[in-house]
Amino acid sequence: MLNKELLAILACPKCKQPVKLNQEETGLICENCRLLYEIRDNIPFMLVDEAKKLD
């Protein structure tokens, strides 16, 4: 799980809005852009090109 302090300062690299942890705690969601940034080995991969689009 991500450190709560780190989570509080992370923002979407595309729109700069805050992100939130998904229910499974496997990624960070930007509700504004409808993107999911994966978390691998407790490291958030905040690359727009690697983000998954949400339906």
Judge whether residue 1 has pLDDT over 80.
no
Instruction: Give the phi and the psi of residue 9 in degrees, each rounded to 5.
Output: -105, -10
**What is this structure's pTM?**
0.90
SS (H, E, C) 10-40: CECCCCCCECEECCCCCEEEECCCCEEEEEE
Tokens, residue 12: 């979407």
pLDDT in tens, 5-51: 988 999 999 999 999 999 999 999 999 999 999 999 989 999 999 99
Q: Does domain 4-53 have CATH number 2.20.25.10?
A: yes
Q: Work out the number of other CB atoms within 10 angstroms of the CB of residue 2.
A: 15
Instruction: Give the phi and the psi of residue 10 in degrees, each rounded to 5.
Output: -75, 145
Q: Domain ranges in the chain?
A: 4-53
> What does the alpha-carbon distance between residue 5 and residue 16 come to, in Å, rounded to a whole number?
17
